[in-house]
Each structure stands twice: as C-alpha cells, then as structure tokens.
Amino acid sequence: MAGETDFLKPHGTDLLESFVDPVVIHHPRGHTIPRLDDKGLETMLSFLEKIQKEVANQEGEEKCLEEAP
C-alpha cells in the first residue's frame, strides 16, 4: 500500500524496484492502512489468493519430496 502523503513514500517507491511484478494499492492518505474501496479490496483479495495458492503448491512439492524413496 502506498499513501500519497506518506512520509516514507519515496523509500517505498525505490523498494518497488526490488520486486518482480509488485502489487501496489495507492490511497490518498499518509502512513496508514485505510479502508479499501471496491477496487482496492478486489486487488488485495486477488493478491492474497495468489499467495495462498503459491504456498499450497510449495507445501505440496515439499511433501512429495519427503515421501520420495
């Protein structure tokens, strides 16, 4: 999340360059987590579902490796 008036915004913007395909939700406030509008909520839920699937896949792969002879 990136607040337009957040005093840490420049650092967060620089940090984005460290990620491949980052998900960013912009909001008009400062260094806070605001209530999300419908679009922001949809973006956040989509991101969380993606992470949940990746974790489940990783756990499945690890389980297969443990069971392999």
Tokens at residue 49, please?
A: 């579902």
Structurally, the chain folds into a number of domains equal to 1
Tell me: the pLDDT tens digits for 13-30? 999 999 998 988 888 888
Confidence category of residue 34, pLDDT binned at 50, 70, 90:
confident
Provide the 3-class DSSP secondary structure of residue 3: strand
CA dihedral in degrees (69, 65, 67, 48; nearest 10)? Answer: -170
Q: What is the pLDDT of residue 32?
A: 86
- Long-range CB contact pairs, 53-61, < 8 A, 24+: none
Residue 47's domain comprises: 2-67
Q: Is the pLDDT of residue 38 over 90?
A: yes
